[in-house]
A and B are shown apart, each in its own frame.
Chain A
Amino acid sequence: MSPVPGVAEAGRRLRDGDTTAVRLLEGALERAGRYEAQIHAFLTIDREWALETAGRADADLADGIDRGPLHGIPIALKDNMCTRGIETTAASQILAGYRPPYDATVVARLGEGGAVVVGKTNLDEFAMGSSTENSAYGPTYNPWDTTRVAGGSSGGSAAAVAIGSAVAALGSDTGGSIRQPASLCGVVGMKPTYGTVSRYGLIAFASSLDQIGPLTRTVEDSALTLEAIWGHDPLDGTSFSGRYPDPKSGLNRGVAGLRVGVVKELAGDGYEPAVESAIGEMVSKLESAGVEIVEVSLPSFEIALSAYYLIAPAECSANLARFDGIRYGHRGQGATTEALMARSRAEGFGPEVTRRILLGTYALSAGYYDAFYGQAQRVRAAIQEDFARAYQQVDVLVSPTSPTVAFEAGARTADPLAMYLSDICTIPSNLAGHPAMSLPVGLDDQGLPVGFQVMAPPLGEEVMYQVAAEVERLAGFDLSPGLQEVAS
C-alpha cells in the first residue's frame, strides 16, 4: 500500500474508521513540513483554517452527514483561485497580501463537498510559464529530482500531489499548465472540456483558454475530483449548461474495440528518445489490449504554438489591465493617476508577465490586429476542423504530454522560446476547448517520469477516462520512488 493514499483510498479508510480527516490533514501537513524547504510547493498554508475544516468534516461524518468522495480529503489549490479571506496572489508581487472577499466557485464546491484545503500552491506568475520559475516567490522543484523544475504553471499543485503533501490538487490549464507539470512530476493531470468547470474566481490569464482541473495520484481520483467541481455555474457566462458526461462510467470497461489515433505531428525533432520510446511502448500495449491504432495527421498543430502566443497574450493584456494599484494590490508612487498606475504595474509585474502584456497589446493594435490576432483566430478554427476530422476516424488521440522529461532548473529561463516549446503537445486542446489528460507511463533512464497524453472530443470525458484507466493499468506506474528520492 502506498504511504500516501489517494482520494478513493483515503475515502475508504475514512469511512471504515481507520483514519479521520484531521489525521489525513496532519499527514499532509507533516509531509509538507518535511519537504517544503526543498520543494516549495506552497505559497500559503493556513493550518488553523485547514484544521477547522477537517474537524468539521469529522464531526459531519460522525453525525452521519457524508458530503461525497472529497469529504475529509486534503486538497491543495493553485494560488490563482480566490479564497475568501485567505491570501491569493497568483504568485505575483502585484497581489502580495491580497485577500479576496469571496470564494471562487470551485472553492465553494470543494467546501460543499467537505474537502479540506491544505493550502495555496505555487505557480508561474499569473499562470504564465512552464516551469514555475516565474513565481515572484521563488520556484517549485521537482520531487523526483530537486535540481529540476516541477513544470508549470501548476507546478506547486503537481509537486504537492507527487510528494504527498496533498491527496489531490486543483490546477488551471491555459496551454498545458495542468498536464505538463503532471507529466514532469509523475501524477495524473486533467483539463476538462472548456466551460464545464466554472472560471468564476479563477484569476484570469486567457479567458477563452483557461480551464480548472484536478491533479491526482490515480485516474479514478481524477474522475472523483472532477465530478466534485464541475457543473453549470450561473456566475460564469461561458459555463456549459447541457448534459454532462459520466467520467467514472468507463473506468473498468477496458478498451477492446476502441480506435486510438497517434498524432503524427507530435513526435520527431525536439522529442527526447526516452519520451518517444515510453509512448511507443504504451501504444503497443494498448494495441495488445485490443485497441485499433491509427496514425493521424493534424497539420494545423504545427502552427498551434504561434497562434497560442498571440491569442493568450492578447487576452492577458486586457485581463491584467485591472491591476493598476487603484483599488487593491501593490500601489506605486506617482504624481498623477497615470503615473501611479504605470509605476504600480512596472513594480508589480515580473518580466514574463510584462513580456506577454506587451506582446498582446501589440497584437491587438490598430493596423496589426488582422495580421496577428485575426490570423491566430483563423488558425484556431483550422485546429478545430483538424480535430473534428480526426475524431471521425478515432475515439481518442494520444501523444506525449511534453517533448521532454523534467529539465534542469534555470535551463530555459533565459530562452523564452525554448520554454514555450514545452507546451507544444498540450496547446491544441486548449485552442479547441477539448478535454485532455496526462498520466505517467514510466521513467526514463535518469528515473524521471514520462507523461502520456490522452485527448478526446468536446464532452468526451467518458471515453477519455476509459482509455486513461487502461493506460494506468498497463503502465503499473509507481509513484513511491519519487517520494523516497526526496525523503532520503
Chain B
Amino acid sequence: MSWEPVIGIEAHVELLTDSKMFCGCAVGFGAEPNTDVCPTCLGLPGALPVPNKAAIESIMAIGLALNCEVSERSVFHRKNYFYADLPKNYQISQFDNPVCTGGYLDIEIEGVTHRVGIERAHMEEDTGKSTHVGAGGRIHAAESTLLDFNRSGVPLVEIVSRPEIRGAEESRAYAQELRSLIVELGVSDARLEEGSMRFDANVSIRHQGSSELGTKVEVKNMNSFRSLERAVEHEIARQIELADSGGTVVQETRHWDEEAGVTHSMRTKEGSSDYRYFVEPDLVPMVLDRQWVQRIREGLPELPAQRRERYRGDGLGEALAGVLTAVDPALRHVYEVAVAEGAEPKAAANWVTGEVIGWSRRHEVEPSELQLDGAALAELVGMVGEGKISSSAAKEVLDGVLSGEGSPARVAASRDLIQISDRASLGDLVAKVLESNPKAVEGYRGGDEKVVGFLVGQVMRATQGKADPRVVDELLREQLLA
C-alpha cells in the first residue's frame, strides 16, 4: 500500500516595526542584551500592554496578500505557560478570533500551480532569548542560562497553512513563496538564518486516497529552505518506515538535527497542551473597520504571483518570468524601465538575470548600487539588435557601463567596439581578401562551401573583429558568384 504525506506549515514572522508589539521599546537586533527593555516587555508588576497600530496594519497587509478575510473585530488572548524567557509566563496571542482567516497561496513547481490553503494568520508577541551556558549549549546539562529580553515583545505574525502540502519539495516551494511575499510587502526582513522568519512543519502520512488525517508530528529547528526540505523529507521517510514495519506514529514534537540529518524527539504531547487560553483583560477587542482594511488593500504592492503573470505577458516564458520575479527589486526596476524605453523584453530580461547579476556578484556590488539604469540597458539591447555591436562586444560594453565609463554608445566608441557594417568599405575589403586567396575562391567554385567560413575569418581578422559577420558573409557570396 502506498502512503501519502500530509504537511501543514506554521510560519512565524517577526515584523520590522519601529517599536515592539505592546510597548515603545525599539525593535533592534544586535543591541547589548537587555537594553531595549521596559517594565512592559520585562513583565514587571503593574505594567500594561498597549497594541502597536503599525503591527496590526502589517498583519492586515499579510492577510490581504494571502487572500484572507480580515475580521471586523479581533481579540487577544493569553496563552499560559511557564518559561524563563517568557517574562509574564503568558504570551499575548490570539485564539478563536484571529485578525486573518481563510486564505490561500499559489505555489508553482515546474510550471504547475498548486494552491495551498491558509487557515489563519494571527498576531502575537515574541519571547526573550535563552542562552544555555556550559554542556555545549544543551539545555538539560547546562550550568546556567542567560536571558536577553531585547526580543521580548517583538511583534510576531503566525501564519498557519492548511494540511494541504504534499511533500518536501512543495514544503520548500510554499516556504519560499511565502517569504518572497513577506519581503515584497516590506513588513519583515524575513531572514531565516537570523530567525526573523521561522518555519515549523506538521508532518503526517496516510494511505493514498484516504481523506482522514494521520497522527501529526511537529518538526522544529529548520533555519534554511534546504533544511526545511530535508527535515520534511526525512520525517516522511521515518514515518513510512515506522508504519510499514508495524509501528505507530506518536504525536510529538521533533527537533531537526541539521548535521546528522535526522529528527530527534523533544517532547511527547498527550493531546494538545493546555494553554488555558482566555481573553486578555488588559486589552479591548480590536475593531478593524472596513475603510481601514480598504486603505491597506489599496496600499499593497504588486505581489510575486501578479508580477510573474505580468512578465509572462511580456513574452518572457515560464522560466525567465520566474527568475526575474525573484531577483532584487533594483534589477527588476532596470528591466521595467528598459522595456518602457522600447527594449525587447526577452533580451532585456536575459541581460538582467544573466550578465548583470553575474557582474554584480563578481564585483561584489549590491544590485541597488549598480551604475546601470533602464535607459542604458535599452540602448545596449538596441545596439545589439541593430548590429552596431556584436553580442560578445556587448558584454564588454556592459562592463564599461557598469564600471562608470559612460553610456553604451560612449563605451562602444571609446573601447573601439563598433561593428563595421558599411557595405561600401567592407566590399573593398572583401575584394582584397578574394584576390589574395585564389585557392579558396577556386575551391568554392568547385563546390566547397566550407571555404566561406575561412574567408569570413580572413575579413574579420583584417578588421580586428569589428566587421559585422552577417554583412561580410553576404558580400562574400555576392562577389564569389559574380
Q: How far is the CA of A199 from the CA of B49 in the complex (A)?
A: 11
Q: How far is the CA of A338 from the CA of B86 in the complex (A)?
A: 13
Say yes or no: B82 contacts A203, CB within 8 Å.
no
Interface size of B by Cβ–Cβ distance < 8 Å? 30
Say yes or no: A337 contacts B84, CB within 8 Å.
yes
CB-based nearest A residue for B78: A318
Q: How far is the CA of A38 from the CA of B80 in the complex (A)?
A: 42
Say yes or no: B281 contacts A324, CB within 8 Å.
no
Say yes or no: A364 contacts B80, CB within 8 Å.
yes
CB-based nearest B residue for A90: B45
The digit string for B39-51, where 1 denotes a CB below 8 A from any CB of A, is 1001111111111
Say yes or no: B284 contacts A361, CB within 8 Å.
no
The digit string for B260-292, where 1 denotes a CB below 8 A from any CB of A, is 000000000000101011100111100000000
Q: Is B87 an interface residue (CB 8 A)?
A: yes
Contacts A237-B50, A237-B283, A326-B147 given; does A98 touch B45 at CB 8 Å? yes
Q: Is B88 an interface residue (CB 8 A)?
A: yes
Say yes or no: B88 contacts A322, CB within 8 Å.
yes
* Residues in chain B near residue A237, CB distance under 8 A: 48-51, 282-284
Q: How far is the CA of A246 from the CA of B43 in the complex (A)?
A: 35
Q: Is B3 an interface residue (CB 8 A)?
A: no
Contacts A322-B88, A327-B42 given; does A236 touch B274 at CB 8 Å? no
Task: State the total of A-B contacts with C-beta under 8 angstroms.
Answer: 105
* Residues in chain B near residue A183, CB distance under 8 A: none
Q: Is B90 an interface residue (CB 8 A)?
A: yes
Say yes or no: B87 contacts A235, CB within 8 Å.
no
Across the interface, B43 reaches (CB within 8 A) one of A207, A317, A327, namely A327
Q: Is B196 an interface residue (CB 8 A)?
A: no
Contacts A199-B48, A203-B46 given; does A366 touch B274 at CB 8 Å? yes
Say yes or no: A322 contacts B145, CB within 8 Å.
no
Q: How far is the CA of A223 from the CA of B278 in the complex (A)?
A: 35
* Residues in chain A near residue B39, CB distance under 8 A: 100-102
Q: Is B89 an interface residue (CB 8 A)?
A: yes
Contacts A238-B284, A326-B147 given; does A338 touch B82 at CB 8 Å? yes
Q: Is A449 an interface residue (CB 8 A)?
A: no
The digit string for A185-209, where 1 denotes a CB below 8 A from any CB of B, is 0000000000000011111101110
Say yes or no: A200 contacts B47, CB within 8 Å.
yes
* Residues in chain A near residue B43, CB distance under 8 A: 322, 327
CB-based nearest A residue for B89: A321
Q: Is A299 an interface residue (CB 8 A)?
A: no
Say yes or no: B45 contacts A361, CB within 8 Å.
no
**Which residues of A line the B interface, CB within 8 A?**
80-82, 88, 90, 95, 98, 100-102, 104, 199-204, 206-208, 234-238, 314-315, 317-318, 321-324, 326-328, 337-338, 341, 361, 364-366, 369, 373
> Which 7 pairs across A and B sit closest by C-beta, in order of nearness?
A321-B89, A208-B281, A207-B281, A364-B276, A201-B46, A203-B45, A322-B43
Q: A201-B47, A327-B44 are in contact. List 9 more A-B contacts (CB 8 A).
A: A204-B282, A234-B50, A235-B48, A238-B284, A318-B90, A321-B80, A321-B82, A327-B87, A364-B277
- Can you list 18 A-B contacts (CB < 8 A)? A82-B45, A98-B45, A100-B46, A203-B46, A204-B282, A207-B282, A237-B48, A237-B282, A317-B276, A318-B78, A322-B89, A327-B44, A341-B82, A361-B276, A364-B278, A365-B276, A369-B276, A369-B278
